[in-house]
Chains A and B, each alone.
Chain A
Amino acid sequence: MNVLNEWAFIGVFFLLAPLLPALPIVLGGVFAPHKPNAIKTDTYECGVETVGNTWVQFKVQYYLYGLIFLVFDVEMVFLFPWALAYKQLDFFAFGAGLLFIFLLTDALFYAWGKNALAWD
């Protein structure tokens, strides 16, 4: 198989993967009863009527974790080529990688010191 075919396989897979689980849902739609009423489709909140808008403001901590994750995820993408070629490289590559990882670690400890990782 050539390279194009490898990706054609992934492409077809991407199209088919959501369709396979969608099939039983569609079947369920055929077989299951469908009798909605106002009480049944009401938002479930343990029997109490909901107050106000659902899309409320959320804790800022989630946002901070998201930011830290972004830093790490981007750095990870840069580490993959380094790890891939590592066997063919010499000590200089280790030094370069170490510097890069040091910056990453520094960012983590900075966030830690700034209490960005505290949950309260």
Chain B
Amino acid sequence: MDCINQLAQCLSAGGMDSGLAEFISIFLGVTLTATFPLLVTILLIWVERKFAARIQDRIGPNRVGPFGLLQPLADVVKLLGKENITPQGADKPIYNFAPPLMVASVLLIWAVVPFSPYHIGSDLEIGALYTIAVASIGTLAVMMAGWASNNKYALLGAFRVVAQLISYEVPLAMAILVPVMLAGSMSMQDIVTAQYGMWFMFSAPVAAFLFFISSQAETGRAPFDLLEAESELVAGFNIEYSGMKFAMFFAGEFMHVFTNGVLMAVFFSGGWLGPFAEQAPILGAIYLLGKASVWYMLSLWLRNSVPRLRIDQMMNFNWKFLVPMSILNLVVTAFLLQVIKQAGLGPADAGNFLQNIPQTLILLLGNGFVAYVMLSWARSKGRAARAADEAKKMNAATAASVAVGD
């Protein structure tokens, strides 16, 4: 019997109580799935620092170990020896529970990430909805941290973050609706296999764009790093944290960025799909992490090249551009899918690349239309705003010159 993939059956065949065997296999599965992203995070800290350093024309960590690879471990040891200071008047239970909750909110997403056709923590029927649901626990952790710290900077930072995180959740969820619609399922495994013929990145590029941008905002990275805003709020919601608790907030953030890459890979670029992934499941995991790394690098690139937005610009960008765009995208995609279905242009075999081409082309045209409409609308709005602004300045100048008696 295959004792790795069917541990529960194997143990109960060996004479163990079946309920206990079931529990042990679940417990081991959870431990594996939850430890993996935590270990990856240690490596990610190095990747991120090196990447940022190269963009800024520096060398980055290069002293501890080969290429500075052991730098994160050295940092962990250092942080273990740092004192945990609890500020006066802090609400202790909430203050202490916030950092683990922040990490947990990201870890929980990994429960439904499909690594290969056979390796997935739990293939829930509502996997896609589950990812949004657990990711929003992070918002709660931030609010708890900011509120319980008994510090005005922390509280102001937390208000900003919560406003930002809940706002960007709207286009995020709207963007996930499109792959769900295309796949006809919310199970992560089904969404991956539905992309066998064509990745959703090509049939729904606008949804992919929306998901990428709003997940960048959900992690609170530049250009949406209002929650830290070092120069304005000193550090934001985590200002009163120190030592390992502080480190946990950052571990959560680093892990969130990579997890978003994984979700991009699953929803839009075929997850574990790739040559021979069915025969050798380990290849599936490599493809998944490879694709996730590409999205991760893109996110780092964005982070290191774009300046921070002002809070009103950020909220306007979301509510006045991304949300209308996601609504329009949803309507256009739904309409085109019905047209394709009625006209019989859909693929008879969803796994066939060639049969997918007509549908993809039609959807691509629709996406182009959405992008064109939104951009020209934003441009006309921008022109009107600038004209109004200039007219106001002109009037003020005229009034001033009249007052002087020029």
With the chains together, A119 CA to B310 CA distance in Å? Answer: 11
Pair B122/A83 contact, Cβ less than 8 Å: no
Stretch at the interface among B62-70, B78-86, B368-376: B78-86
Task: Give chain B interface residues in 138-179, CB to chain A under 8 Å.
Answer: 147, 150-153, 155, 159, 162-163, 166-167, 169-170, 173-174, 177-178
Q: A113 → chain B, closest Cβ, in Å? A: 12
Hey, what's the 0/1 contact readout for A42-81 against B, CB within 8 Å counting as 1?
1111100010001110110110011011001100100110
Task: Give chain A interface residues in 68-109, CB to chain B under 8 Å.
Answer: 68-69, 72-73, 76, 79-80, 83-88, 90-91, 93-94, 97-98, 101, 104-105, 108
With the chains together, A12 CA to B31 CA distance in Å? Answer: 9
Given contacts A62-B162, A86-B184, A24 and B155 within 8 Å (CB-CB): no
Stretch at the interface among B53-61, B216-224, B300-308, B332-340: B332-340
Pair B34/A16 contact, Cβ less than 8 Å: yes
With the chains together, A44 CA to B85 CA distance in Å? Answer: 11
Q: For residue A40, which residues in chain B have a CB less than 8 angstroms away from its CB? A: 85
Contact of B155 among A22, A56, A80 (CB under 8 A): A56
Q: For residue A42, which residues in chain B have a CB less than 8 angstroms away from its CB? A: 87-88
Q: For residue A65, which residues in chain B have a CB less than 8 angstroms away from its CB? A: 163, 166-167, 315
Pair A21/B338 contact, Cβ less than 8 Å: no
- A contact residues, total (Cβ < 8 Å): 74
Does B108 touch A at the CB level, under 8 Å?
Answer: yes
Contact of B85 among A14, A36, A66, A73 (CB under 8 A): A36
Q: B147 → chain A, closest Cβ, in Å? A: 8
Q: For residue A8, which residues in chain B have a CB less than 8 angstroms away from its CB? A: 22-23, 26
Residue from the set A28, A38, A56, A108 with the largest chain B CB neighbour count within 10 Å: A28
Pair A28/B244 contact, Cβ less than 8 Å: yes
Pair B338/A90 contact, Cβ less than 8 Å: yes
Pair B111/A58 contact, Cβ less than 8 Å: no
Stretch at the interface among B96-104, B257-265, B289-297: B96-104
Stretch at the interface among B44-52, B318-326, B396-404: B318-326
Q: For residue B150, which residues in chain A have a CB less than 8 angstroms away from its CB? A: 43, 54
Q: For residue A59, which residues in chain B have a CB less than 8 angstroms away from its CB? A: 159
| Majority DSSP secondary structure for residues of B touching A | helix
Pair A9/B29 contact, Cβ less than 8 Å: yes
- Residues of chain B touching chain A, judged by Cβ–Cβ distance below 8 Å, are 22-23, 26-27, 29-31, 33-35, 38, 76, 79-89, 96-97, 99-104, 107-108, 111, 121-124, 128-130, 147, 150-153, 155, 159, 162-163, 166-167, 169-170, 173-174, 177-178, 180-181, 184-186, 234, 239-240, 243-245, 247-248, 251-252, 311-312, 315-316, 319-320, 323-324, 327, 330-331, 334-335, 337-338, 341-342
25 pairs, A vs B, C-beta closer than 8 Å: A6-B122, A7-B122, A9-B111, A13-B121, A18-B101, A20-B35, A21-B102, A25-B245, A28-B243, A33-B83, A41-B85, A41-B88, A46-B234, A56-B152, A56-B155, A73-B173, A76-B173, A76-B174, A83-B180, A85-B184, A93-B338, A94-B334, A94-B335, A98-B334, A117-B315
List 12 extra interface pairs beyond A93-B338, A94-B334, CB under 8 A. A13-B30, A13-B121, A21-B99, A21-B100, A21-B102, A28-B82, A43-B151, A45-B151, A58-B155, A69-B167, A69-B170, A108-B324
